[in-house]
Structure 1
Amino acid sequence: MASKGTKMVKAAKKGLSKVQHPPFLSAIIPAGRAMPAPPLGPQLGSRNIQIGQFCKDFNEKTKNVKEGTPLPTRINVNPDRSYNITFHSPPASWFLCKAAGIKKGAMKPSQEVAGKVTLKHIYEIAKIKSADPPFENVPMEIICKMIIGSAHSCGIEVVKELNAEQYGAFLEEREAIVTQQEEDLMEAKAAKMMRIS
């Protein structure tokens, strides 16, 4: 009986083929902070890229960018295990949060306002994003509309003008709301852990 099971396992193993990963990898990597730890390390290892060498190359190429800036990166792997790295500008959501002066977007984007940006901010972000290869032949108006859509999904309101004093007061109020939301979230997690154990 055991030999029959062994034969079935061997037959199943023969039927399995080795997983073939595509010759490219897209990831968002913080500038100057590429490390061999997960999630980047296993992704590179599965494509037979020398992880330590890649991290050293990436950190060297991004040394002129502010450390920690998220960079969408495309890695093309050649058959000889060499690779080409292509960088894009940071995601629109990162720019929007920086422009709004907030750390993260709203927990309930359609129900609350996390921050505000002006149309000028949208246009400046669109100018930066238009240099990325995916937006090469896209009109500026469409890029602006896409960024406005990203702003709404982050809970960031787009306004024509912004008063610095009023916005400062808004951010102070917002900070108290975010602190309360985080406390509520921690309490909910603790309650869930109590129910599980």
Structure 2
Amino acid sequence: MGKIRIAPGLKKKVVKVEHGIFRCDLPANMASPGPPLGPTLGQRNINIQQFCKEFNERTKNIKPGVPLPTRAFINANGSYTMIIHKPTSMYLLKQAAGINKGTIVFRSLAGKITFRHIYEIAKIKSEDPPIECVDLKRICQLLIYTCRSIGIQVVRNLDPVEYSKFLKERQEFLIAKRKELDEIKEAKLLRTTV
């Protein structure tokens, strides 16, 4: 077989289409060029100030500090396409239950929400690109599974007075548990230093 000849004057040209995908959870309206975001974007040849400014501008109507999953599709020339998703379902479920943490003791109850909460969160999450084609019923089922994993009970009706009493008792339990864990940690430190 003979060699393939390229016409004189034509050169082979390799074009990089995509440099990669950058994924992170950024707090709404609080992106800053400092670590850890700045160095990570700098490695990918992205204008850090422009990225932070665009992110903060697009999230200015959201409560500051809400974690937003962010994806940036990065081209070889440093340009990018930013996609900002709705807050994580874990965050929304904990906010609806009025708790900061899920369960810390296996199979204990961390909080309660109603089916109405599940439905409203499912409507919010159905706007996210990865699950926009998923049926609303399936999203609700996934949210209920997530509730089980973090100790949130889904109920039909919720009495506000009873639930506020439950949250106070849970707060006292968490303080006692934290104190117990600190004592265990302190005891381990004393054993290792002797």
- Is TM (by shorter chain) over 0.5? yes
1:1-197 equivalences in 2 (<5 Å):
23-108=20-105, 110-197=106-193
The percent identity for this pair of structures is: 47
**Structure with larger Rg:** 2
Q: Distance in 1 between matches of 2:42 and 2:191?
A: 39
Q: How far off its partner does 1:35 sit?
A: 2.1
Q: Distance in 2 between matches of 1:51 and 1:114?
A: 39
Using structure 1 for the length normalisation, give the TM-score: 0.82
Q: Distance in 2 between matches of 1:194 and 1:42?
A: 39
Confirm or deny: 8 A CA contact 2:19 2:76 kept in the other structure.
Answer: no
Identify if the C-alpha distance between structure 1 residues 179 and 142 changes in structure 2 by more than 3 Å, giving closer, same or farther. same
Letter in 2 for 1:157: Q
Identify if the C-alpha distance between structure 1 residues 111 and 55 changes in structure 2 by more than 3 Å, giving closer, same or farther. same
Q: Please give the secondary structure, in 1, of the residue aligned with 2:184.
A: helix
Letter in 2 for 1:175: Q
Q: Distance in 1 between matches of 2:42 and 2:141?
A: 38
RMSD of aligned alpha carbons = 1.8
Number of residue pairs matched by the alignment: 176
Over residues 89-136 of structure 1, what are the superposed CA-to-partner deviations in whole Å (9 max), with x where a residue is unaligned? 00111111111111111113x421110001110011001101111111
Q: Please give the secondary structure, in 2, of the residue aligned with 1:116.
A: strand
Over residues 119-160 of structure 1, what are the superposed CA-to-partner deviations in whole Å (9 max), with x where a residue is unaligned? 110011001101111111111111001001111111111111
Letter in 1 for 2:143: I
Identify if the C-alpha distance between structure 1 residues 183 and 131 changes in structure 2 by more than 3 Å, giving closer, same or farther. same
Confirm or deny: 8 A CA contact 2:115 2:154 kept in the other structure.
Answer: yes
Using structure 2 for the length normalisation, give the TM-score: 0.84
In structure 1, the gaps of 5 or more residues are 1-20
Q: Distance in 2 between matches of 1:35 and 1:154?
A: 31
